[in-house]
Amino acid sequence: MSSRFVSLEVKDAVGTIRLDRPPMNALDIAMQDQLKEVAEEAGAPKDVRAVILWGGEKLFAAGADIKEMQRMSYTDMVERAGALQGSFDAVARIPKPVVAAVTGYALGGGCELTLCADIRIAADNAKLGQPEILLGLIPGAGGTQRLSRLVGPAKAKDLIFTGRQVRADEALRIGLVDQVVPADEVYPTAYAWASRLAAGPAYALRAAKEAVDRGLETDLETGLSLERQLFAGLFATEDREIGMRSFVEEGPGKAKFR
């Protein structure tokens, strides 16, 4: 039986996807496949309302397993590249709020995995980057696409062309992370964010995520059409009834969603 390097732990409607392959959480093929399985597991049940990506107290993930990749030929990677991207896509498609709690290194595939989250909370000791160019490669798990959409093409090209690592303060300045806190506060801060949203209207949060993410992939007119459909669809949900009734009777921000 193969070892488990990725697990899902659920507490009070918050699911934590835990990366655990010491010493560096190197994302080998087994870990990639497990990541896809766990992401789909987190996306399905109603008892999980928000998700945290967590590599542990010391680091998030230092990248792919280079020794494993070194043995792969062109044809090997032609066959594997789709599954590699698919494992990260599964995380990006989780239809719930997702936060990456980043400590230590988040490099290469580790950085690409943080890009699949909705927000990124980083430790003040975190270092992020896409160093694939130093191996004669480019990012292959979504980095060229998600990074440029997040920080803009010029900053993305700087990081990808040079392969340099950025510290937490620069990452915050360029928009690569959204908040920087002391290392021992990263997971609690991420949990507080996820816990607050876990108590929110699940279908509205799902619709909001889909509208933003899919809207970025298309033109404005198509995005507005998608928003219109999702907006109207929420009028069929119990959460909409609860939210509006609470607003009218009690004022804003007091609804208790089921």
Say whether 9 is catalytic: no
- Chain Cα centroid distance, residue 92: 6
Tell me if 13 sits within 8 A of 53, measured CB to CB: no
| Count of beta carbons in the 10 Å neighbourhood of residue 186 | 27
Tokens of 146: 């998600």
CA distance 176 to 185: 19
* Catalytically annotated residue among 132, 170, 238, 249: 132
Whose structure tokens read 């290194």?
105
112 is catalytic: yes
Query: How far is the CA of 51 from the CAs of 48, 94, 134, in angstroms?
Result: 7, 9, 32
Residue 230 and residue 252: Cα distance in Å, rounded?
A: 22
Query: What is the residue-wise DSSP string for 91-144?
Result: HHT-SS-EEEEE-SEEETHHHHHHTTSSEEEEETT-EEE-GGGGGT----SSHH
Type of residue at 254: K
Report the interhelical angle of 220-233 vs 202-215 (nearest 10°): 170
Question: Which of 9, 68, 79, 112 is labelled catalytic?
Answer: 112
Q: Cα separation of 152 and 156, whole Å?
A: 6
Instruction: Please identify every residue annotated as catalytic.
Output: 112, 132
